[in-house]
Amino acid sequence: MKEPIGVLVMAYGTPRSFAEIEAYYTHIRRGRRPSEGELRDLERRYRAIGGTFPLRENTERQVRALTDVLEARRPGAMVVRLGLKHAPPFIEDGVEALRAAGVRRVVGLVLAPHYSALSVGEYFARAQKAADAAGLAARFIERYGDDPALIALLRDRVVEALRAFPPASKVKVVFSAHSLPARIRAMNDPYEAELLATSRLVAAAAGVADWTFAFQSAGQTPEPWLGPDIREVLPALRAEGYGGVLVAPIGFVTEHLEICYDLDIEARAEGERLGLDVRRIRMPDDDPRFIGLLADRIEAVLGAWE
Ligand code: FEC
């Protein structure tokens, strides 16, 4: 029998408990320990979302759903393992688990649809290094932010959320994604163009002419980050006479701290202060259309490889 093909699903990762927050934050900071104040602030944000770490469960549910779809399509032919950027099981652990399962070829993907050298590129570099060390051949799915299935899913999520606003309200759709250090502009990085392309495609499919794009969740480091930040955009929209804002966080695929705190708590509170009704779309999560498109992309890589 031919050996199975490995699928390495990579995602950001989150702590499993409050005791792990410091190690997690230190890992995000590439080994630089955060100050006491920064640590307390991060703990405060996790407490504000109910003292939970929803990203872990959500990522695991997505991986299970993908495993089931691949198993149904190619019984016994694929082994799926998770590898996280900043928490165990790390990307390197995921590659090792695939090697131990007897695979020789690995297809890697990140649960983030848009490519940047500073985000997805870093996942790939670590996975490639681990695959090289383990003697595995690796290929990667670099992006899927313009996949028609993702656009259709996001279109439906935008349309359903817009319908729930009171009929007379003037609503702006704000597409958003995680900010990155502004130095990516000098690197000719595709991140911003890919985010705008997704925004344009979803807006056109949903028949939405009134939209804009904003970044969110910029890190607390001294260097400049990409903007405008969503918190700056809200007062300007209020001043332009908008009564509602629908945030569509297209740079993410599930709920986590940057959604549940930065948008659902912080941006919503800022909206309330301004008299703006701030809402957001439901995330793709384990919707069969989202999981199906990941499986399609994996099969396309295999088709080109076989
Ligand atoms: O729910 C959770 O526990 C994790 C939520 C979470 C996601 C996420 C996604 C991305 N990040 C990206 C880039 C950066 C850069 C820095 C940075 C810092 C943090 C901190 C926390 C955090 N990130 Fe994150 N990110 C999440 C959480 N991120 C917590 C540290 C405290 C803070 O700054 O708020 C800055 C590093 C530094 O300080 O040097 C850069 C990017 C994504 C989206 C793509 C992806 O998922 O990989 C890009 C989810």
Centroid of ligand 1 to alpha carbon of 17 (angstroms): 17
Enter the pTM of the model: 0.97
Phi, psi of 38, rounded to the nearest 5 degrees: -65, -40
Give nearest CA residue, ligand 1 atom 5.
257
The full length of the chain comes to 306
Q: Which of 29, 198, 258, 261 to mutate to test the pocket of ligand 1 (most atoms within 8 A of CB)?
A: 258
Distance of alpha carbon 290 from alpha carbon 256, whole angstroms: 17
Distance from chain centroid for Cα 240: 30
Q: Whose C-alpha lies nearest to ligand 1, atom 17?
A: 219
CA of 19 to the centre of ligand 1 (A): 18
Tell me, in angstroms, the distance from the centre of ligand 1 to residue 14's CA. 10
The neighbouring-strand residues paired with 280 are 247
Ligand 1 neighbours by CB, cut-off 6 Å: 12, 14, 25, 28-29, 42, 53, 55, 112, 119, 178, 180, 219-221, 256-258
Q: What is the DSSP letter of 176?
A: E
How much distance in Å is there from the Cα of 284 to the middle of ligand 1?
19
Instruction: Estimate to the nearest angstrom the gap between the alpha carbon of 67 and the chain centroid.
Output: 19
CA 91 to ligand 1 centroid distance, Å: 16
The string of DSSP codes covering 45-71 is HHHHTTS--HHHHHHHHHHHHHHHHHH
**Residue 280 in tokens:** 């957001």
| Per-residue confidence in pLDDT tens, the chain, 306 aa | 578 999 999 999 999 999 999 999 999 999 999 999 999 999 999 999 999 999 999 999 999 999 999 999 999 999 999 999 999 999 999 999 999 999 999 999 999 999 999 999 999 999 999 999 999 999 999 999 999 999 999 999 999 999 999 999 999 999 999 999 999 999 999 999 999 999 999 999 999 999 999 999 999 889 999 999 999 999 999 999 999 999 999 999 999 999 999 999 999 999 999 999 999 999 999 999 999 999 999 999 999 887
